[in-house]
Amino acid sequence: MTPAPRGDASTPVDHGQAPILGPQKVACAHDQQGSGGVLTVEALSVRIRLASGSTVRAVNEVSFALRRGRILALVGESGCGKSVLAAAILGLLPGNAQVRGSVMLTSEDGPADLLRASEHELATRVRGRRIGLIPQSAASHLTPVRTARSQLTEVVRLLQGREAGRVEQLAEQVGLDPADLDLYPHELSGGMAQRVATALALAGDPPVILADEPTAGLDRVLVDRTVDLLRSLADDGRTVLLITHDLAAAERVADDLAVMYAGRLLELGPAVDLVSDPWHDYTRGLMRALPAGGLVPIPGRPPSLTDLPPGCAFHRRCPGECSGDVGLSWYGERAVACR
């Protein structure tokens, strides 16, 4: 699901008065450690308070780094917190969400913590310019009364200040027929709307791209086209977070995989390693649920994020012996919560 954009910038994270993006630098532990992350998420937690009084623990102590020229695919079952994580990175959570941790974005100006940036800074310097978002349910993000061309032209003008040929160039990049640009959103197929949203996300040529389920509802040819586009963006030196429950697409295109369950990462590392030799029982279960793995579903359901059990949230579905560990332990380039 896609969380609604928040109406204000209020989170318990203290948004300082002084601008933090730009020449003023902020110390970053990860940079000192030399992780080389373009975007480094550290101990990120998101709680969303519901009107009923209960709290959705949507993201729990999540840490990972996105590196230049690489695609990290974040996979996990529906409702595990993937979209909330993307929304937290971009400051797009609703006002009833509480965010903790840090999201360091490194650019030529130095590193800055996006969780402490003001709404104005995020709107004018980050979203679309440094980080492009291809939102989940892309069609619903288009303005219904304006053609795709008019929306794309406006965004190109705003972000780049030049128009000549750029709109057509973007259309070609995402595989849209330029004639399709003159259609209104209700005239677009799901796949066309998805490609318009992709073109909008790329309009400002952002170095980091968050793609939230960019292949949902697409046929095989368009899925392949979309993942090929993400691959070529990464090969050109951009940084991509691909959020998906299409593990087969993730497996095909990602350099790194992060497996999320009930708001936590259970396993993280190079995609080839996780695919050929998954360590966590949940990762193994996801692999077995693929056609190549025999289409064996994981029995049971994920727990409710308003009522998480203490300790490992996967425990009740896990066929293996529980170590009781919830935090990731690192083994070289790989990390796993329980092995």
Ligand X SMILES: Nc1ncnc2c1ncn2[C@@H]1O[C@H](COP(=O)(O)OP(=O)(O)OP(=O)(O)O)[C@@H](O)[C@H]1O
Which of these, 96, 115, 106, lies nearest to 43 by C-alpha position? Answer: 115
How far, in Å, CA of 103 to CA of 92, rounded?
13
Stretch that binds ligand X, among 75-83, 104-112, 178-186, 315-323 (CB under 6 A): 75-83
CA-CA distances (angstroms) from residue 204 to 98, 124, 287, 322? 29, 12, 36, 46
Stretch that binds ligand X, among 28-36, 74-82, 180-188, 278-286 (CB under 6 A): 74-82
State CA 102 to chain mean position distance.
15
Identify whether the C-beta of residue 72 lies closer than 8 Å to the C-beta of residue 257.
yes
Q: Which of 245, 252, 315, 317 binds ligand X (CB under 6 A)?
A: 245
Contact positions with Ni ion (CB under 5 A) in 54-93? 82-83
Q: Which of 13, 39, 56, 171 binds ligand X (CB under 6 A)?
A: 56
Q: Does 79 bind ligand X (CB under 6 A)?
A: yes
CB of 154 to ligand X, least distance (A): 27
Alpha helices by DSSP H, listed for the chain, are 29-32, 82-89, 119-121, 148-160, 166-174, 190-202, 220-235, 247-253, 271-276, 281-288
The token pair at 245 is: 């429950």
Q: Does 11 bind Ni ion (CB under 5 A)?
A: no
Q: Does 4 bind ligand X (CB under 6 A)?
A: yes
Q: What would the x/- binding string for Ni ion be over residues 186 to 225, using CB under 5 A?
A: ----------------------------------------
Q: Which is nearer to ligand X, 77 or 119 (CB)?
A: 77
Q: What length is written for the chain?
A: 339
Q: Which of 24, 33, 78, 143 binds ligand X (CB under 6 A)?
A: 78
Q: Does 73 bind ligand X (CB under 6 A)?
A: no
- Residue closest to Ni ion, measured at CB: 83
The token pair at 163 is: 């128009």
Site size for ligand X, by CB under 6 A? 19
Q: Which is nearer to Ni ion, 21 or 260 (CB)?
A: 260
SS (H, E, C) 25-87: CCCCHHHHCCCCEEEEEEEEEEEEECCCCCEEEEEEEEEEEEECCCEEEEECCCCCCHHHHHH
Q: Does 244 bind Ni ion (CB under 5 A)?
A: no
Q: Which of 15, 26, 67, 94 binds ligand X (CB under 6 A)?
A: 94
